[in-house]
Structure 1
């Protein structure tokens, strides 16, 4: 009988539990549980409901018992940068504030007063994004210094849930790199940097690599679930998991992990922390097997998701794509990396205002708004790829798009047209598959990352544009 592995994949708007197994030479997936997620206002801050999230994690695990498919291991992946601080009794200090909250406004100046921006990039290789953990922690230091002083542990979102499951405190490597506090060369916490910023060094945990086992569940959870299993670290940053699922073993491609965000880049053996790289807004995030995911963060389908929400979700994403295709000649474009689109009160009005401010034709219909966003994304992809090719000194023949954003066929077509490269789309469940792949490599189901990627290629439909 095939062994089962459980991937808990939590995104900004929803989470799901996906069981994976290998049957007849192919990876088989089964979604067994799904739940909603999102930030809510609490005391003036945008926060995650970490208690509700953990209840949903447990409910999905219980579903395995109900359907008689007990996993041999499980692992959790989420978005990056967000965290909790724990006190001496392992209780959460304050709230789990979300990355779209405005508390980091002005914190870049506070950081750079202690550490010049260029030096920070030379050490960490991480692109300046105002939601990076470094700026969040500076906000805590300035606004609630007592919270940082009494913190005994900093755990990123997936680290915290793995701790609740096992009692083990670690900071997983791929997630930790999103903090802008990990030294890109040594792949460890940059304690000199942390000291210069005045952060509490005691709260940073041992950095653990994806593929490491944290051991079995806590005894009380074994009793609650009715079974035990290993907890194996995937790339807990969802981008790292998605990149592991790219169905290719050569190096003649760029990847796009497409979803709420579009993460576009290449895998490298060593970081590029040069000034050219910083100016071009590239980041050196951690990947599976100590790889560097050299990429750029692009706003992605968050803008379309927000447009849809502004219209009370009465249109499907497929309908929005179809309406955009009918308005394909609409000329206006927006900068999809502009912070004005991070968390506007109304995305439709923000897009219109941007076009007004820049002297362009203002989109009025849903089709015009959507084609403005999709075309802007495709053109941004093209510019970003050209920047990567300049930084790496080579060209790439194709693009691999993994993740749910691959379902946006009109965007895929625009991307192929804008970049003049072959576009391979799939698997759309990239993050969960990458999560499962790390567990399967750990268990010996696959001997290597290369073997896992070949199995992914053989198991899922890949569409070429």
Structure 2
């Protein structure tokens, strides 16, 4: 039996602890703990409950001891852009805002008067989205400047949890890249940009690369858990972790990290910070081995998740797919990147309103609504891939879908039809798998990413749609 490695994978709606190990030349995953997550309304804002989340992190670690499977190392990945500010006592300052909070509305216009969108993109390579850390901090500077003045450190969400575990403060590269404050080419904080925005550069930490060890967990935690272990930085941004787990060789493919968001793109060695890239809504985020995850952020299955929740979670995602396929002739489409779908009070009504405003048939049944969403996603995927092919001057023959969205067979089929490309779906636990893979490369279980991906390909069922 090989060593165990623990991935704590926390998404916007749930989190899970997954153990990975090599058994008979194959990677085996075991989910040992799962918990719910979600933003909470506090003082009129959407916030995260980090104390509760850290309680779940510790509970899942204790489960390892209970089942007698002690991990050699662990790492945490989460969504991007959100952060905490710490004071000189390492206490959190102010609210723990979530990226769907509306306090950043209109802040982009104020930022544009300081630095134009074209120059900002040339520096950072990050698509302008008003929830990016840049806009969150500028909103905070406007509403609560005293909190920024008091701050001694900024840690992104996984950085904060790693700090609670080890006492080490770093800003991991893939997560830091989502902030729109990092220089894409230099892979460092853009000091000139921070100065122009009058943000305190001293709060940002050293940028650490995936695979770096933060050392052992704190002594008091080791005593609490009954064992010691190393903390190794994975790609702490969940998208980058999922991309590391793509079971592909060569470069002849595009990826879709499919979950609450759909992140569609390619891996490349250098960022593309051109004006054409900006106008086509592509972003250059950090990846494993200092590579660039060049992709577009698409709303993804958030829309389906929201509709399901509005129905009281009374039907499964598989049932929703079945209802959508029954209504496959329903022709109305929505722009899944439209801001009206970011955080509506009611997703079903937002879709109906969009169809009504654009002169299309208004969906009434669950099947019609789901059909509209899935077909609209597939169309957006096809349009985005064409944009990538134009910008890179090459054609890609296949699509690799990783993450939970890979279970949506009807969407995968629509994607193959809309793009005319072969779709390879799986593994569905892409993010946790990529997290574990980074730890295993660090420990020497795999010599590099290529070997790891070959093992992943042999270890999991990959469904192909043509």
TM-score by length of 2: 0.99
> Which string of whole-angstrom CA distances, capped at 9 and with x for unpartnered residues, describes residues 153-176 of structure 1?
000000000000000000000000
Do structure 1's residue 250 and structure 2's residue 280 form an aligned pair?
A: no
Moved beyond 3 Å, runs of 4+: none
Do structure 1's residue 16 and structure 2's residue 16 form an aligned pair?
A: yes
Alignment of 1:24-423 (within 5 A): 24-423=24-423
CA separation in 2, counterparts of 1:180 and 1:201?
A: 14
CA separation in 1, counterparts of 2:15 and 2:241?
A: 15
Please state how far the C-alpha of 1:111 moved relative to its aligned partner.
1.2
> Which string of whole-angstrom CA distances, capped at 9 and with x for unpartnered residues, describes residues 289-346 of structure 1?
0000000000000000000001101111000000000000001000000010001011
CA separation in 2, counterparts of 1:21 and 1:231?
A: 16
> Which string of whole-angstrom CA distances, capped at 9 and with x for unpartnered residues, describes residues 346-405 of structure 1?
100000000001110000000000000000000000000000001111010000000000
Q: CA RMSD in A?
A: 0.4
Partner-residue secondary structure (3-state), 2:242 = helix
CA separation in 2, counterparts of 1:125 and 1:29?
A: 35
CA separation in 2, counterparts of 1:128 and 1:360?
A: 29
Please state how far the C-alpha of 1:69 moved relative to its aligned partner.
0.5
Partner-residue secondary structure (3-state), 1:96 = coil
Please state how far the C-alpha of 1:96 moved relative to its aligned partner.
1.2
Please state how far the C-alpha of 1:109 moved relative to its aligned partner.
1.2
Partner-residue secondary structure (3-state), 1:114 = coil
Partner-residue secondary structure (3-state), 1:220 = helix
> Which string of whole-angstrom CA distances, capped at 9 and with x for unpartnered residues, describes residues 86-106 of structure 1?
000000001210000001001
Do structure 1's residue 436 and structure 2's residue 436 form an aligned pair?
A: yes
CA separation in 1, counterparts of 2:192 and 2:42?
A: 34
> Which string of whole-angstrom CA distances, capped at 9 and with x for unpartnered residues, describes residues 115-152 of structure 1?
11100000000001110000000001100000001110
Please state how far the C-alpha of 1:2 moved relative to its aligned partner.
1.0
> Which string of whole-angstrom CA distances, capped at 9 and with x for unpartnered residues, describes residues 196-231 of structure 1?
000011100000000000000011101111110000
CA separation in 2, counterparts of 1:185 and 1:12?
A: 29
Partner-residue secondary structure (3-state), 1:119 = helix
Partner-residue secondary structure (3-state), 1:335 = coil
CA separation in 2, counterparts of 1:398 and 1:194?
A: 40
CA separation in 2, counterparts of 1:32 and 1:201?
A: 40
CA separation in 2, counterparts of 1:421 and 1:380?
A: 14
> Which string of whole-angstrom CA distances, capped at 9 and with x for unpartnered residues, describes residues 1-32 of structure 1?
31000000000000000000000000000000
CA separation in 1, counterparts of 2:187 and 2:125?
A: 11
Partner-residue secondary structure (3-state), 1:178 = helix
